[in-house]
Amino acid sequence: MSYRLEDYDYDLPEHLVAQTPSPERDRCALMVLHRSSGMVEHCRFADLLSYLRPGEILVLNDTRVVPARILGVKETGGHVELLVLDPYKPPQEGRTEGYRCLVKSSKPAKEGLRFLIEGQVEARVVRRFEHGQALVYFDHDNLLEFLETQGRVPLPPYIRRATPQERAQDRADYQTVYAQEPGSVAAPTAGLHFTRELLKALEAHGVELVRITLHVGFGTFAPVRTEDIRHHTMHSEVVRVSEAAAARIRQAKEEGRRVMAVGTTVVRTLEWTACRFGSVKAVSGTCDHYIYPGYKFRVVDGIITNFHLPKTSLLLLVCAFAGREKILAVYKEAIRREYRFFSYGDAMLII
């Protein structure tokens, strides 16, 4: 086992970074990795039906991506771009306290700076933080409502867009079909491969669908910067697990049925509750659970996930689940077979 960050790196040809999703969500490529044997299979995402058994639990993150990227103009005429990092905040609370934002402009945003957002809403920087973040007050009664109509999709930096038409399509593409609770600034991308038809087929097959919520934050894109991965500080994200969801997962574990997580956000949520309470319990709070090699999993028996960036907490999590050597080997094979990587890319099933 290695704790050196450099041992979780790999080289990826730029043309394998997916810029658009598969034309049919469930027809993207699916790599299946069997942890115990190391066997690898190659199929399509719709073939997931062949690998899940009746009675198993499939846990989905039902967070909804908010179009939280907005553009403004300063009183001096300069341009500013903001990403609202906590769009899930209740409107009254946001109206009183302001919102934490990532602010980009030609010069650092000073406290007291005023600007006009999307030509409609006045805003003011209340307090500055590190790394380009600031507390911003918006003169609007319901910022979430404003963002839903006027905001832009906060795509990851490696997805490049040139035209408004492409951005309009991303509003649908960068959202799971089961998204319900608004609050994320990044999609739980493993869920992007599901169609409503596939979900119905899984239920008809006897797979139980359970929903939890984790609002994905901007920190999901942050690389690990410490040479020793054990010293990394994990970002916090808002989570909610209902009593009904927790009870169904606990019962499945007691009866020996597998619990399958759709995405690393679900993995962290379930493992966090188990570490905190001894088993999966209803909870509402902030999760900063950091999973890296050496971690002992308590709940999750299988993961559906995408191919992750090197030197990130997401890659460390799947390495903890399946082993660093196995993961880096199958990533190398995925590159050789020209799988598509990252948010709009292809999928992996690790069982």
pLDDT, one tens digit per residue, over 234-272 is 999 999 999 999 999 999 999 999 999 999 999 999 999
Q: Which fold has domain 69-150?
A: Thrombin, subunit H (2.40.10)
- Class (C level, CATH) for 5-65+174-350: alpha beta
DSSP letter string, 193-259? G--HHHHHHHHHTTPEEEEEEE---GGGGPBP--SBGGGPPPPPEEEEE-HHHHHHHHHHHHTT--E
- Residue 131, pLDDT score: 86
Instruction: Give the start-to-end residue ranges of the domains of the chain.
Output: 5-65+174-350, 69-150
pTM, entire model: 0.95
pLDDT, one tens digit per residue, over 39-92 is 999 999 999 999 999 999 999 999 999 999 999 999 888 999 999 999 999 999
Torsion of CA 198, 201, 202, 204, to 10 degrees: 160
